[in-house]
Structure 1
Amino acid sequence: MGAVKSKRMPRAVREQQMLDAAVLTFARRGYRAASMDEIAEVAGVSKPLVYLYLNSKEELFSAVIRREAAALAEAVRAAVEPGVSADRQLWSGLKGFFAHTAEHPDGWTVLHQQARTQGEPFAVEVAVLRAEIVEFVTAMIGAAAQEAGCDREPAAREVSGLAHALVGAAESLADWANSGGPGAGERPPAKDTAATLMNFAWAGLGRLMAGERWSPGS
């Protein structure tokens, strides 16, 4: 009686398995040091199979970046509560962002630390994600200005600058929280990290919406 053949794993499932292994390897070894042999070993497949599915190390890294970027953007969009005040929308979006980066620290490391330092085309992929999130935050700050009914609505350039500053702060804070940096101790809950940024940013935004402006004086 012949041996029973095991069912072949569907291509899509096998590919995700390889991408999972690649995320872990790239995050912990770095793009340059990571090898296809190591990725294949972590995935539990042969190196020729990795090449068959994903062609090259460069294409594999690009596929990882695209997958992790899409997952992060979707997590933020899905977290935002519709039909609530602008501050509640920002709060829920930040919670979604920090929850995702905390739950997928290797993916965040690949996006924010590895991809950005390897030049084109990898840095471009991350720039697209960042632009999407900045655009989303820009719309929320603009909505907050309208909601507040402030006499002097911030100019489009100012709103864009505030959105870039807020996104940059969120990225830096995610690095700090996930690395257990100075003063962080154990990784703080995503809700606490989001509250830290809200306390820093929204108090200032609230005063801005009320028409207050900081002045350097004489």
Structure 2
Amino acid sequence: MPRAQREQQMLDAAVMIFSRSGYHAASMDEIAEACEVSKPMLYLYLGSKEELFAACIRREADRLIAAFAGAADPGLAPGDQLFHGLTAFFAFVAEHRDSWVVLYQQARAQGEPVVEDVASARREVVSAVTALLRRAVREADLPGPRPGEGPDRGEAAAMAQVIVGAADALAGWVLDTGPEPPEETARRLMSVIWIGLEPRLRGARYGD
């Protein structure tokens, strides 16, 4: 079997074991057995347990980002792009539960550089959502940041943080309470976020 293919099998097995056993309880023996290779081969290909876990984080983060970005058709209106991106995000979580657990539960309990890898992936998703919202802001002629706000504290950047944080929480809720179609989960979030954004895009603010 080509090395690249074998490495992917090893990562698949590692993600499954880390998800089910946790980082500290998972053993290299268990992972090697799950992917039907010897432990020396596992070490040779992917290094120590810490290095293997970091490789899992990088791969799963890249897959999640690609799923979101690939679904956001630039030919659609910003709201439709966001809906399709969120649908792909929730579909990824549903289809790759182990990946989600490793990325958003196991990884956050580890130190650097694993935590930074997860944070970097999240920043990429936030950046993609921010770009969509900035387009919506331009089309709606929304005023820019208030005096004293830096470029990263504008309306689009702030709302992107809200949307990504809400998507994270909603994904966890769906996994805990039972499956539902990804489109329905995305529609739940869009019904709160996007409907609420529309008046804001026209300039409305709470308390005005």
Please tell me the residue identity of whatever aligns with 2:46.
L
Between the aligned partners of 2:132 and 2:2, the Cα distance in structure 1 is 41
Residue correspondence of structure 1 range 195-214 to structure 2 within 5 A = 195-214=187-206
Between the aligned partners of 2:88 and 2:42, the Cα distance in structure 1 is 32
Give the corresponding residue for 1:159: 156
Residue correspondence of structure 1 range 19-30 to structure 2 within 5 A = 19-30=11-22
Residue correspondence of structure 1 range 167-178 to structure 2 within 5 A = 167-178=164-175
Give RMSD over aligned pairs. 1.3
Give the corresponding residue for 1:5: none
Runs of 4+ in 1 over 4 A off after TM superposition: 153-156
Contact 2:137–2:156 (8 Å) recurs in 1? no
Residue correspondence of structure 1 range 26-37 to structure 2 within 5 A = 26-37=18-29
| Counterpart check, 1:50 vs 2:42 | yes
* % identity of equivalent residues: 52
The correspondence for 1:135, drawn from 122, 127, 142, is 127
- Unpaired segments ≥5 residues, structure 2: none
Contact 1:146–1:153 (8 Å) recurs in 2? no
Between the aligned partners of 1:179 and 1:53, the Cα distance in structure 2 is 35
The correspondence for 1:145, drawn from 132, 137, 140, is 137
Question: How many residue pairs end up in the alignment?
Answer: 202
- Unpaired segments ≥5 residues, structure 1: 1-8, 181-185
Give the corresponding residue for 1:4: none
Q: CA deviation at 1:211?
A: 1.3
Give the corresponding residue for 1:125: 117
Larger radius of gyration: 1
Structure with the higher helix share, 1 or 2: 2
Please tell me the residue identity of whatever aligns with 2:83.
W
Between the aligned partners of 2:100 and 2:94, the Cα distance in structure 1 is 8
Give the corresponding residue for 1:76: 68
Contact 2:15–2:102 (8 Å) recurs in 1? yes
Between the aligned partners of 1:84 and 1:55, the Cα distance in structure 2 is 44
SS class of match (1:12)? helix
Contact 2:90–2:171 (8 Å) recurs in 1? yes
Between the aligned partners of 2:137 and 2:157, the Cα distance in structure 1 is 13
Between the aligned partners of 2:187 and 2:109, the Cα distance in structure 1 is 30
The normalised TM-score by structure 2 is: 0.93
Q: CA deviation at 1:179?
A: 2.4
Q: CA deviation at 1:31?
A: 0.6
Q: Deviations over 1:120-175 (max 9, x none)?
A: 1110000110000111111111111112234x345641321211111011011111
